[in-house]
Amino acid sequence: MLRVQAYRFVLRPDGAQERLMRRSCGARRYVFNKALALQKERYAAGGKHLSYADLCKHLTAWKADPATAWLKEVHSQVLQQALKDLDHAYRNFFEGRAELPRFKRKGKDDAFRHPQKVELDQPNGRIRVPKLGWMRYRASRAVEGAVGQVTVSLKAGKWHVSVQTEREVEKPVHPSTTLVGIDVGVTRFATLSDGTVIEPANAFRKAEAALAKAQRAMARKTKFSRNWRKAKAKVQRVQARIARIRSDFLHKASTTVSKNHAVVCVEDLDVRAMTASAAGTVEEPGVNVRQKAGLNKAILDQGWGEFRRQVGYKQEWLGGWLLPVPAPNTSRTCPECGHVAAENRPSQAVFRCVACGYAANADDVASVNIARAGYARQACGETSPVRASAQEPTEAGPALAA
């Protein structure tokens, strides 16, 4: 089977290389925004949507224009990839997977991509990117497979390079044969049906005071002054630390779950709908807005969607499966008698069946019901386990322990 994997490293460019990388980020952003503005103008005038090939013709004209001749200083692949990103964003919008593309701004998602002609010298910890030449990188791990596209990005003042590789590997067989249900939450990050509990990292909550202090300091500075830029860099460092802590936690948790269970059943949650604002409108204001905002912040701090994504691809690499099950009533169904009622859950953490009197932690009950739903869907043939990267049912999964 073909395994596509990315490796991310910290770059160590010299001054000239850093200036050219900043110029590349700016040129990519300019081309993306100019092409997006062109698409919006044509739409407003009732014109036809331009394809990627059509936009490339406009790119040639922009590079020939004396006013934007500076675009020639950047590698052509960087500019072409910006147009591909816009085309992909519009395709996602037309197919209902994303919102309408928005203009990019400086300082957010500064990056550019090279799809080919990249060389990697692992023994010496060097990488050669077109027009940038050889650059040192922090070789924290070995890169396996043939090097494909490379993405260079700027985050919190540090340059990173992400190297995508492809390699053929033997079809894996998962070392385990067990199925587990997982209920995610805020008080407990994850509760497994085998009794395991994963406590949350709460990366944002722990750094919230430090972040608020840094943001207040930045707000007191004159915008775009030298001191403002220093304060902004401090805010970015705090935000980057929060992201690193959350990412490290999610990778460790997902790796542990994936290695120990062949089939992982999760609730098919719509996190975006769950974290929608309750503010309402001026005419019809919402209720419990402050409480809902706090709950939304706590949910988003956990990273449920990223956890599911990581479990999915790690299960695929190990030969296991990720099986989503419907979310309704997983925490309201009694695992002893099967009675379903909202009254079975008198509080967030307590489950007490009004029919048979069975009592337990609500998260433990939900995880057991999720596991049973996974077993039932397999046994009844309603669906097969699906990999995180696939939408259609695939071949039958591994044998399960009785």
The pLDDT value recorded for residue 286 is: 86
Give percent of the chain above pLDDT 70. 95
Token duo for residue 235:
């805010």
The pLDDT value recorded for residue 402 is: 25
Known catalytic membership, residue 65: no
Lowest mean pLDDT among 121-125, 132-136, 142-146, 396-400: 396-400
Query: Sorting pLDDT into bands at 50, 70 and 90, what band is 378?
Result: confident
Read off the pLDDT of each residue in 358-363 and give the average, rounded to a whole number.
95
**Residue showing tokens 């999720």:** 370
The pLDDT value recorded for residue 381 is: 63
Per-residue model confidence as pLDDT tens digits over 268-309: 999 989 999 888 877 788 888 989 999 999 999 999 999 999
Give the DSSP letter string of 107-170. Answer: TSS-EEEE-S--EEETTTTEEEETTTEEEEE---S---SEEEEEEEEEETTEEEEEEEEEEE-P
Contacts (Cβ under 8 Å, ≥6 apart) of 40: none
**Residue showing tokens 């077109």:** 130
Per-residue model confidence as pLDDT tens digits over 171-230: 999 999 999 999 999 999 999 999 999 999 999 999 999 999 999 999 999 999 999 999
Token duo for residue 392:
């259609």
Query: Sorting pLDDT into bands at 50, 70 and 90, what band is 379?
Result: confident
- Distances from the Cα of 97 to the Cα of 101, 268, 281, angstroms: 12, 16, 26
Q: Angle at Cα 268 formed by Cα 263 and Cα 270, nearest 5°?
A: 150
Contact 289, 351 (CB under 8 A): no
The pLDDT value recorded for residue 245 is: 97
312 has a pLDDT exceeding 50? yes
Residue at 267: amino acid letter: E
263: nearest Cα among 201, 332, 222, 319:
319
What does pTM read for this prediction?
0.89
Give percent of the chain above pLDDT 90. 88
Q: What is the mean pLDDT of the chain?
A: 92
379: nearest Cα among 243, 263, 220:
263
**Other C-beta atoms lying within 10 Å of the C-beta of residue 93:** 13
Per-residue model confidence as pLDDT tens digits over 139-159: 999 999 999 999 999 999 999
- Distances from the Cα of 393 to the Cα of 108, 221, 385, angstroms: 37, 55, 7
The dihedral region occupied by 269, where left means phi > 0, alpha psi between -120 and 50, and beta the remainder, is beta
113 has a pLDDT exceeding 50? yes
253 has a pLDDT exceeding 80? yes
The pLDDT value recorded for residue 389 is: 39
The pLDDT value recorded for residue 283 is: 79
Contact 304, 296 (CB under 8 A): no
Known catalytic membership, residue 363: yes
Contact 271, 305 (CB under 8 A): yes
- Local structure of 176: helix, strand or coil: coil
Q: Looking at 110, 316, 363, 364, which residue is catalytic?
A: 363
100 has a pLDDT exceeding 70? yes
Torsion angle, alpha carbons of 390, 393, 395, 399, to 10:
100
397 has a pLDDT exceeding 60? no
The pLDDT value recorded for residue 382 is: 55
The pLDDT value recorded for residue 230 is: 96
Query: Sorting pLDDT into bands at 50, 70 and 90, what band is 391?
Result: very low
Query: Sorting pLDDT into bands at 50, 70 and 90, what band is 399?
Result: very low
Read off the pLDDT of each residue in 95-121 and give the average, rounded to a whole number.
95
Tell me whether strands 321-325 and 350-352 are parallel, antiparallel or unpaired. unpaired
Tell me whether strands 197-198 and 2-12 are parallel, antiparallel or unpaired. unpaired
Lowest mean pLDDT among 104-113, 146-155, 285-294, 350-359: 285-294
Read off the pLDDT of each residue in 257-261 and give the average, rounded to a whole number.
97
Known catalytic membership, residue 85: no
Q: Looking at 85, 267, 301, 316, which residue is catalytic?
A: 267
Read off the pLDDT of each residue in 366-384 and give the average, rounded to a whole number.
81
Q: Looking at 183, 301, 316, 364, which residue is catalytic?
A: 183
Token duo for residue 144:
């396996």
DSSP state of 340: B
